[in-house]
Structure formats: structure tokens, C-alpha cells
Chains A and B, each alone.
Chain A
Amino acid sequence: MTSQIVEDVLQALVAGLLSGAIYGLMCVGLGLIFGVMRVINFAQGDFMMLGMYAAYYLFLAAGIQGIFGNVIGPYVAILLSGPLLFLFGYGIHRLLVSRVTGQRTAGLEGEGHFAQLILTLGVALVLQNGGLILFGSVLASIRTPLSSSAWEIGPLWSDSISIFINKSRGIAALISILAMTALAMLITRTRMGKALRASADNPVAATYMGIDIDRSYRIAFGLGAAVTAVAGGLLATNYPFHPYIGTDYVIVMYAGVVLGGMGSIIGAFWGGMTIGLVQQLATLVLPTQLQNAAIFVVFLLIVFFRPQGFFGRVVERT
């Protein structure tokens, strides 16, 4: 009996870590946009949806399946969707978002936050419904042979305990962590990363130092879209998706970013990880329908006790 409980807990823990890693990457994408620009982007979930479909069509229609096969092919397609969505995000910022952010909003009520919210809500509407027209409402999925096989760990110390790790989920989590590490290197080690951090920290001072902050913002927006899109593609190897899927995840992403501490990119990853863990561990004690309610309750509790998030700072002056 006890070994059954132990096995359930371990299995939930592993499941939480695996989906947590993907959520983490998703949150990092949003965290980049939010941390650098302080813009609430409601279309982020729909960028993820576009990433899923981009990977799907690259795999099936663009011949990647033929070249790389069914096992490696999906991952190649997923990684290629990143640059595509970078261009998309970059373009959306240039055409639309830049008109209600940065210097132009200085004189507006609430520094233009209202306009940004509505604008990105409008973009989200266009993407969701445009997606419905282009891709249809039928559930799509990126199937790989790995989705239906698993590694078995165990039997562990007592013969009855062993843990199963779904292969495609395991690989997705691994790629998430690698992508996260690459991004962290990009931000901490390169000149461009330094410019991004400077623009995030103090846009005015960054301008004085000769940094083109509008360019930093465009890059952040594009990168954020790309990272979330890759996370979406990884998710799509296990879950079927549809054009309206963004709405479900945008909230998870915001919860993760707030938990990690707004403005902290590493924090966003741990925030997403926390949500994955809470979601999976909640299934041990709560009925499945309350799995998602648990996320929001834990989210509120953490925010009340640590309003600045895990990695955030509070700075206020009189």
C-alpha cells in the first residue's frame, strides 16, 4: 500500500518536472518581453499557437519529415519555428506595439498601459480567429513514435516501485533546459544581451549610453515570441492543439512570470517549473477538475507572501 503511494508521488513529481521544464521555457519567452519592455502582452499565448502550427506545417508540408524522418524530424521543425516566430514578433513590434510603447507614451495616462493592453488583446483576437480560418478547428498534433513509448526507471529499492518517463516528454524537457541555457548565455555573455539588460534596467540611462532601446525592444519582442513558440512546439509533441489554445496557456505564463519575479528571466523559468509541479502534485490530493484551480490558489498565496516573486526586488522611493 505504502509503496503504491510512494510510486504515485514519485511519478507525479517526475511528471511535474517534465511539464514544468516546458512551462518554464514558455514563461521565459514572456518574461523576456515583460522584463525588458514592461508590456503586458495578451497575444503571447497566440504566438505559442503559431509556433505549434509552424512546427506542424514545417514537419509535414515543408519536407522535413522526408529528410529527417519521424523521430528527429519533429524536433528539427520545432527548432526552425523559432526563427520564423522571431521575425513575426519583430514585425508585430515594429508595426504595432512600438506605436504605444517607449518614448511615444510618455504623456499618456498610465504611460500607455491601457493602450498596450487593448492593442495586444486585439492582436490576440486576430491571431486566434485568423488561425481558425487558416488552420481549421480540427485538433492537430505532432506525433512522433516517441510519444507512445517510455523509459522505465526501476524497479527501485522495493521491487514494486518503478517510474515511467515518456520518451517524447523527457526529450522535450531536455531541449527546454538546453534552450533556456543557450538563452541565458545569450543574455549574460553577449553584447546584445548586455544592451537588452541595460534597456530593461533603466531605459533613459541606456539611451544616454548610446543604446538604441527601440531596437532592444524589437529584439526582445522577437526573441520572446521565438522562445515561447519553441516551447509550444515541444508541448505539441504530446498534446493535441487548436487555434484557441493560446488563451489557456497565456494565464499559466503570466502566473509563472509573476511567481518568478517580474523582470527576472531565470525567475520566470522557476516560476513555470513551480506551476508544472503544483499542477501535477495537486492530482494526488484533489480531483482532476480542481487541478487548475490549485494553480491559481497557490499562485495567490505565493504572491501575497512574497509580492516581489522568487527573484524580484522591491524598489520604492519617497
Chain B
Amino acid sequence: MRSLAPILLAALIYTGLTLVVSNSYYQLMLTLVLVWASFGLSWNILSGYTGLISFGHAAFFGLGAYTTALGQIYFDLTPWLLIPIAAAIGAVSGLLVGFPTFRLRGHYFALAMLAYPLAMLYVFEWLGYQELTLPIKREAPFAYMQFSDPRLYTLVALGLLLGIVLITRAVERSRFGMALLAIKQNEAAAEAAGINTLAWKLRSIVLSGAIAGAVGAFYAVVLLVVTPSSVFGMLVSAQALTVAMFGGVGTLWGPLIGAAALIPVGEILNAELSARLPGIQGVIYGIAIIVVILVAPEGIFWTLRDRMKRSARATAGILPDLTAPATSPAPNAPASIVRLQRITSREVLLSVRGLSKSFGGLKAVQDVNFDVHHGTILGIIGPNGAGKTTLFNLLNGFLPPSSGEVMLDGRNMIGCKPHVLCRAGVGRTFQIMRPFARMSVRDNVRVGAYVQAASEQEAHRLAADAVNRVGLSQVADRVAAELTTKQLRLMEIARALAGKPRLLLLDETLAGLGHGEVDEVTAVVQRLAREGITIAIIEHTMLSMVRLVDRFLVLDHGAVLADGEPQHITRDQRVIEAYLGKKWVAYAQT
């Protein structure tokens, strides 16, 4: 755990600077740096951590600013009260905006967000609020936050920013932050790992909107004049983006660095040059942004951090050891893969009845029936396009079926979202691996643990246990992007395991592995089965599965072709036909 020391130190230095500066123009600049840093942090909580870029944060900011202006003009309320009210309004509008807009993804989300503040801009103009001036309260300056000493504004802003920094830190380190990061890296995998993605995204936009509302409310107090374009305009939304991206997205420090670097430069250029040659300040500012972003495309913070890491490695002469064996040797040596005794029962865990799914005219899955008994391993095989992955997507809730039932412990699970099924005990891995590439192995797995963990400690414990069970303890601190295919496959299994599943759906877990590697992963799967986890595994090569599974389900063109024990299936004429073609039937049966 990093301590609070660097943040408090920075705050102290800033306080010192504030007290020294007596020029009121520079003092205003010191206040604005804090205001825009706070606004950048608000943007960062939504867009930095979830990766959903918002071009419309001015909507929350502007509502906050108008809350102060209108509240003071019409109701004679003090900003000390109006700022919290603005936060509440920001939170509510976050919810109202988020609920419909989170249906959109990627660029659509970003551009739809653009529409909110711009629509509001015109509405506020139409309402006749082209320019609101806050009433001057000479009789009670403190009660109305109208200080004669501009340093006090800076100190209030510093207090506000510190509060926001602490909130951001709390988010970053909890399951909240982990959930958002997981959504950013891979939304489908996050959902399958038991994260209710919509709920977490809504929480993040509510928090982000509340902060932006409070910051906007304070901004109105500082400037005393509110116009629609100065609080709802495109430039306001762009300001949040600019300071955050310039400094570095997805980190507490990014918006702070960005605001500290950009706001003074912009203001000083404005003051020194704009009178002599209007426009020159914007040209220089623009060029500065372009140059920095070409040098540091991911923002100053990340670029500096990568540099420092690299130079630290170089000076210490330590290179990451890539040659060391990455996994501990599997307890069962490959040669010993034989059928091991397991406690299986006749009790049915999963029962699938009449399950069908069509995409337009294509019947991807048609009328599939099967049962999975407690503690058994079911192998689902079939040629490419047989509907195997679609079947899994139906089983864990990614797709709603056209008809049919999926009963888990006798309960019909149709219509449940993936995270609900995950909570009910269905874990899954993906055919196309979906690691959270920038997170460490341990953190990847921890994301899957939250669904069952009551506390952070428990999540850590569950994750460590799952990493250990698949034999990845030695690489637990590496980021997922550095792993080999085999390690990624095992990590995906561990992520599913961390949620304590009773049924584990493995989608082509053995695909793309070398010969020895197949045996290693197979050994892990067998061990899990012996520990009592029921497993359904998809594969399209039969060979690697014959010794692993208790029962085969063969799919072809979306329908069940055969269902039975391995020794029967391998001799089944229809299965051989589907796989090899008719002329091989005679050959295969000899």
C-alpha cells in the first residue's frame, strides 16, 4: 500500500505557494488549476477507469454551476449548501444519462454523450439565463463564500480536490476500481467473471456526475458569472479530456499533472500575448499539446513511469527472467494421465431441455437435451460451426435462447445475465482468450473472486488459492500480456475458479497448445474434477478428450448427434461420418 505521504506533501507545497502569491491574477490561476484538476478527476472516474470516453461531462458541470447561480439568486441559499445540492443533482443526472446511454458502446457512447450538454446549452439560453451574475453579499462574505482574500478560494478548492483525490484512491483500491478496470479491458469477460457490469458503470457515472456537479458549483462561486457556453460548452467537456489525457488516463496523478502543466501555460499565454496578437496564445498552446502527445502518446504519467521502470531495470542489470519455468510442474506427470477415481453421483447438476437458438434463418442450436451429473466431466465435441460455443453462450447467459430450458439444481436459469449465473455457480473460460491484458495474473484472478468474496482480504485469499490450484504461483505478479498461451489458458481457468464455481464451462481450453502442454492442462482439469467441480469442456479434437471425460456430447449442425460414454462414441458410425466423411467409416472401425 502506497502511503498518503506524496499527496499530503504536494498539498502542503501548494498551500505554501498559495500563501506566498499575492497577485490576484496568479491567485485565480492557482484556484483554476485545482478546479480543472478536480474536473479531470471526475472525468477519470468514469472514462479513465471504464474506458468509455465521455465527451459530455460539461452536462454535469453546467448543472452544478447553474445550481449555485439560481439557488443564490432565487432562494438566497449559501454555496456551502448549494455545492452539496449540486453534487446530488449531478448524481441524479448521472443516473438519468447513464441508464439509456450505457446501451451504447465505443465511439457511439462517446458521441452520444456529446449531445447532452449541447442540448442543455440551448435550453438554458431559451430559458433566458444567457448571463447570470451571483448577487454580491457584502454583509456576510464567509457565509456566502465571497472572500475578499483570493487565497481563501484556493484553499477551499484545495480542500475539495483533496476530498476527490481520497475518493478516487478509495475507488482505485477496492472492488469498485477492479470492476471498472475489468470492464475497460474486456466487458464480456468481466460479466462472465460475475461482475454486474451495468450496475458498476452506473455507480461510476453517478459518482463522476456528483463530483463534476460540485466542481461546477464551486466554479460559479469563483467566477461569479455563469453563461451557458462557459459551463455547457464544448470547450468545457474538452478541458476535462485534455487535462486527463495529457497527464495520463486511468490514474489519480494524470489529471493532477495535466492541470498543473496546462492551465498555467494557457493562462499566462493568454495574459501575455493575446492582447498583442489575438490567437497566438491558442496556436502555441495547440502546438504544445501536439508535441507532447507525439512524444508521450499515453500521457505524461505513463510515459515517465515506463521510462523510470526501464532505467531502473537497466541500472540494476536485471532483466525479467523469461527462461525460468513458468509453472510449477504439475503434480501428475503427463505419463500418469489415466482414469482416476472420482466421486461422481447420479444427482443432476445441470439439465438442458429442448434448447434452441436461431440467428435469422440459421439454426445454431436445435432442440438440444442433456444432463450433467455432479462431479463428472462432460466433453462437448463437434466440427467447426457445430454450435458448441453458442451452446455455452446460452448456458451462461450471454445469449437468450429462442426456446428451451436450462435448469441448474432444478432452477430455470433462462433470462439470467452472466453475472447472475456466475453467482449461482457457473464459471466459464473463452475460446478466444479474454485476459485483462494490463493487469497482473493475481489481479486478473481476483476480479473473478469478488462474486463470492465478502471482503477484500477474502478476495485476495480466494485469488491466491485459485492461482495456486492451476500452478501459476510463480508468475502471479506478471502482467497477463507477458504470458504464454498455456499460462493464459490456465489463468482463465483460475479466474473462473476464484468465483468458487460448481460447474465450470471450458471453451476449447486445449486449443493452440503443444503436445506436452495439452497433458499439463489436462492434468489440472482432472485435478479440479477430483476436487468435486463439475466440468463441461468443448473441444474439436477427440483424441485429447477420450481419456479425460466421462461422457461425450457430439454436436453437428446445432443438433445432438450422439450422447454417451467415450468408448461408444468413438465407434459411433454417425460421429465418424461427421468428422471424417463416409469413406473413412470402414477404415476407422477396423
Residues of chain A whose beta carbon lies under 8 Å from any beta carbon of chain B: 38, 40, 42, 96, 99-100, 105, 108-110, 112-115, 117-119, 121-126, 128-133, 137, 243, 247, 251, 254-255, 258, 262, 287, 289-293, 296-297, 299-300, 303-304, 307, 317-318
In the complex, chain B residues whose CB is within 8 Å of the CB of A100: 293-294, 297
Whether B293 pairs with A119 at a CB distance below 8 angstroms is: yes
- Which B residue's beta carbon lies closest to that of A120? B290
- Which B residue's beta carbon lies closest to that of A134? B279
Given A114-B245, A121-B241, A318-B393, A251:B122 Cβ within 8 A:
no
Given A304-B103, A317-B432, A117:B53 Cβ within 8 A:
yes
- Additional pairs, 4, CB under 8 Å, beyond known A297-B119, A317-B432: A112-B297, A122-B286, A128-B279, A133-B279
In the complex, chain A residues whose CB is within 8 Å of the CB of B389: 318
9 tightest A-B CB contacts, nearest first = A129-B282, A125-B286, A132-B279, A126-B286, A293-B122, A122-B289, A115-B297, A296-B119, A129-B279
How distant is A97 from chain B, measured CB to nearest CB, in Å?
10
Whether B283 pairs with A129 at a CB distance below 8 angstroms is: yes
Say yes or no for B249: interface residue by CB 8 A criterion.
Answer: yes
Partner of A115, one of B51, B103, B298: B298
How distant is B252 from chain A, measured CB to nearest CB, in Å?
16
Can you identify 28 A-B contacts, CB atoms within 8 angstroms?
A40-B110, A109-B302, A114-B297, A118-B293, A121-B238, A122-B288, A125-B282, A126-B282, A126-B286, A126-B287, A129-B279, A130-B279, A130-B283, A132-B282, A254-B111, A255-B111, A292-B118, A293-B118, A293-B123, A293-B126, A296-B115, A296-B119, A296-B122, A297-B115, A304-B100, A307-B104, A318-B188, A318-B432
Q: Complex Cα distance A65/B354, Å? A: 77
Whether A129 pairs with B289 at a CB distance below 8 angstroms is: no
Partner of A118, one of B108, B242, B393, B431: B242
Whether A129 pairs with B112 at a CB distance below 8 angstroms is: no
- Which B residue's beta carbon lies closest to that of A317? B432
Whether A119 pairs with B280 at a CB distance below 8 angstroms is: no
In the complex, chain B residues whose CB is within 8 Å of the CB of A262: 107-108
Which chain B residues (424-458) contact chain A, with CB distance < 8 Å?
A: 430-432, 438
How distant is A116 from chain B, measured CB to nearest CB, in Å?
9
Say yes or no for B398: interface residue by CB 8 A criterion.
Answer: yes
Given A293-B126, A304-B103, A255:B115 Cβ within 8 A:
yes
Whether A133 pairs with B293 at a CB distance below 8 angstroms is: no
Given A40-B110, A255-B115, A126:B104 Cβ within 8 A:
no
In the complex, chain A residues whose CB is within 8 Å of the CB of B298: 108-109, 114-115
Given A122-B287, A130-B279, A307-B104, A318:B430 Cβ within 8 A:
yes
In the complex, chain A residues whose CB is within 8 Å of the CB of B280: 129, 133
Whether A247 pairs with B234 at a CB distance below 8 angstroms is: yes
Which chain B residues (215-258) contact chain A, with CB distance < 8 Å?
A: 234, 238, 241-242, 245-246, 249-250
Given A108-B298, A290-B123, A122:B293 Cβ within 8 A:
yes
In the complex, chain B residues whose CB is within 8 Å of the CB of A258: 107-108, 111-112
Say yes or no for B477: interface residue by CB 8 A criterion.
Answer: no
In the complex, chain A residues whose CB is within 8 Å of the CB of B103: 304, 307
Say yes or no for B401: interface residue by CB 8 A criterion.
Answer: no
Say yes or no for B499: interface residue by CB 8 A criterion.
Answer: no
- Which B residue's beta carbon lies closest to that of A248? B234
Partner of A108, one of B53, B289, B297: B297
Q: Complex Cα distance A140/B566, Å? A: 82
Question: C-beta contact mask, B297-312 vs A, less than 8 Å → 1, else 0?
Answer: 1110010000000000
In the complex, chain A residues whose CB is within 8 Å of the CB of B115: 255, 296-297, 299-300
How distant is B242 from chain A, measured CB to nearest CB, in Å?
6
How distant is B280 from chain A, measured CB to nearest CB, in Å?
6
In the complex, chain A residues whose CB is within 8 Å of the CB of B432: 317-318
Say yes or no for B72: interface residue by CB 8 A criterion.
Answer: no
- Which B residue's beta carbon lies closest to that of A288? B126
- Which A residue's beta carbon lies closest to that of B266? A125
In the complex, chain B residues whose CB is within 8 Å of the CB of A130: 279, 283
Whether A123 pairs with B286 at a CB distance below 8 angstroms is: yes
Q: Complex Cα distance A304/B116, Å? A: 13
Say yes or no for B131: interface residue by CB 8 A criterion.
Answer: no
In the complex, chain A residues whose CB is within 8 Å of the CB of B279: 128-133, 243
Whether A290 pairs with B122 at a CB distance below 8 angstroms is: yes
In the complex, chain A residues whose CB is within 8 Å of the CB of B294: 96, 99-100, 119
Partner of A303, one of B104, B290, B302: B104
Whether B126 pairs with A289 at a CB distance below 8 angstroms is: yes
Whether A105 pairs with B297 at a CB distance below 8 angstroms is: yes
- Which B residue's beta carbon lies closest to that of A43? B286
Whether B249 pairs with A114 at a CB distance below 8 angstroms is: yes
Whether A114 pairs with B299 at a CB distance below 8 angstroms is: yes
Whether A289 pairs with B125 at a CB distance below 8 angstroms is: yes
Most buried by A among B107, B287, B431: B107
Whether B285 pairs with A125 at a CB distance below 8 angstroms is: yes
- Which A residue's beta carbon lies closest to that of B428? A318
How distant is B228 from chain A, measured CB to nearest CB, in Å?
10
In the complex, chain B residues whose CB is within 8 Å of the CB of A126: 282-283, 286-287, 290
Whether B245 pairs with A118 at a CB distance below 8 angstroms is: yes
How distant is A293 from chain B, measured CB to nearest CB, in Å?
4
Q: Complex Cα distance A64/B387, Å? A: 66
Q: Complex Cα distance A216/B545, Å? A: 47
Q: Complex Cα distance A297/B299, Å? A: 34
Say yes or no for B543: interface residue by CB 8 A criterion.
Answer: no
Say yes or no for B114: interface residue by CB 8 A criterion.
Answer: yes
Q: Complex Cα distance A126/B281, Å? A: 9
- Which A residue's beta carbon lies closest to that of B281? A129
- Which B residue's beta carbon lies closest to that of A110? B51
How distant is B214 from chain A, measured CB to nearest CB, in Å?
25
Most buried by B among A38, A119, A130, A318: A318
Most buried by B among A99, A117, A129, A290: A129
Q: Complex Cα distance A214/B250, Å? A: 30
Partner of A117, one of B104, B116, B245, B302: B245
How distant is A147 from chain B, measured CB to nearest CB, in Å?
27
Q: Complex Cα distance A40/B438, Å? A: 24
How distant is B295 from chain A, measured CB to nearest CB, in Å?
10
Whether A133 pairs with B287 at a CB distance below 8 angstroms is: no
Q: Complex Cα distance A254/B111, Å? A: 7
In the complex, chain A residues whose CB is within 8 Å of the CB of B317: none
Q: Complex Cα distance A143/B107, Å? A: 38
Q: Complex Cα distance A158/B402, Å? A: 56
Q: Complex Cα distance A307/B112, Å? A: 10
Say yes or no for B278: interface residue by CB 8 A criterion.
Answer: yes
Say yes or no for B277: interface residue by CB 8 A criterion.
Answer: yes
How distant is A101 from chain B, measured CB to nearest CB, in Å?
10
Q: Complex Cα distance A136/B17, Å? A: 39
Given A96-B294, A251-B114, A118:B241 Cβ within 8 A:
yes
- Which B residue's beta carbon lies closest to that of A247? B234
Q: Complex Cα distance A297/B250, Å? A: 31
Partner of A125, one of B53, B108, B277, B289: B289
How distant is A268 from chain B, measured CB to nearest CB, in Å?
13
In the complex, chain A residues whose CB is within 8 Å of the CB of B290: 96, 119, 122-123, 126
Which chain B residues (84-141) contact chain A, with CB distance < 8 Å?
A: 100, 103-104, 107-108, 110-112, 114-116, 118-119, 121-123, 125-126
Partner of B107, one of A38, A96, A133, A290: A38
Q: Complex Cα distance A96/B289, Å? A: 12
